[in-house]
Amino acid sequence: MNIERNTTVGEVAANLPGAVRLFERLQIDYCCGGRRPLEEVCREKNLGVDEVVAALQTISDVQPGNGSERDWSQARLAELAEHIVSRHHSYVRREIPRINALLGKICEVHGERRLEFPEVRNIWNELTAELEQHMFKEERILFPFVSQLESWIQGSGEEPSAPFGSVRYPIQAMINEHDSAGHLIGQIKELLTDQSGCNTCLEFFRSVDGFEKDLHQHIHLENNILFPRAVELEKQMQQA
């Protein structure tokens, strides 16, 4: 992959899976902020854009054939959607009750002294309620339509009928919800600057970090790969 200063973060993440680790280390938003060019992001974070581009180019040069990262940009969309559900949606549903229990315990024990914990709980409840509705809509409406659309383009199945008009409309709604989720998890992280506490607190902090990292991957796969390709498939259907 040829990487330039004006290449967007999302383009790099979509076409160079190995770049995600570098973006995580540099705290570069490659999911909700994937539409921004590298130069703009590096300037904002006081990073040398030439150094970042060089590091990404090195990853690009050594990545082919190493087999360490799955290139989802080349997968069938039905397979990608299944991966998102089985890996990321399942993770969210598994972690929510576990983190709820940790947060409930630390609020009960430390909430009067650590005022950030009750505030975190309010934001966490808002975030998880949004995510549950978001995943439901994807699994029941958007993903089945995209899979049917892909099958029809490839010559099997019936032409899909979109009850929402164009796939662009639910996709934009999903992107907006991703932005909201990214904002809420960011608020939680800002409140958790004091990482001291008992073992339950420490496990909660680790769990939030893991939840945030998985959310980044989850949103990246949708915003930067699945959604743009679904829009292109719809264009092909309209031109057929």
pLDDT digits (tens, 9 = 90+) for 202-227: 999 999 999 999 999 999 999 999 99
Q: What is the CA radius of gyration of the chain?
A: 20
pLDDT digits (tens, 9 = 90+) for 62-76: 755 444 568 898 899
Phi, psi of 37, rounded to the nearest 5 degrees: -70, 155
Closest to 42 (Cα-Cα) out of 61, 54, 32: 54
β-bridge mates for residue 8, sequence order: 37
CB atoms within 10 A of CB 206: 12
Rounded-to-integer distance, Cα 148 and Cα 191, Å? 43
Q: Where are the domains of the chain?
A: 9-62, 72-239
β-bridge mates for residue 37, sequence order: 8
The DSSP call for residue 114 is -
In our burial notation (b when 16+ CB lie closer than 10 A, e otherwise), range 128-162 reads beebeebbeebeeebbebbbbbbbbbeeeeeebeb
Per-residue pLDDT 10s for the chain (240 aa) are 889 999 999 999 999 988 999 999 999 999 999 999 999 999 999 999 999 999 999 988 875 544 456 889 889 999 999 999 999 999 999 999 999 999 999 999 999 999 999 999 999 999 999 999 999 999 999 999 999 999 999 888 788 888 888 999 999 999 999 999 999 999 999 999 999 999 999 999 999 999 999 999 999 999 999 999 999 999 998 886
Residues 6+ apart with CB under 8 A from 144: none
What pLDDT sits at residue 64? Answer: 53
Rounded-to-integer distance, Cα 76 and Cα 78, Å? 5
What pLDDT sits at residue 160? Answer: 82
What pLDDT sits at residue 122? Answer: 98
What pLDDT sits at residue 66? Answer: 47
Rounded-to-integer distance, Cα 141 and Cα 196, Å? 43
Rounded-to-integer distance, Cα 53 and Cα 38, Å? 8
User: Which class for 60: exposed (0-12), middle (13-18), buried (19 or more C-beta within 10 A)?
Assistant: middle
What pLDDT sits at residue 161? Answer: 81
What pLDDT sits at residue 86? Answer: 97
What pTM did the predictor assign? 0.88
Give me the sign of the Cα torsion angle 102, 124, 134, 182. Answer: negative
Rounded-to-integer distance, Cα 103 and Cα 100, Å? 5
Rounded-to-integer distance, Cα 225 and Cα 217, Å? 11
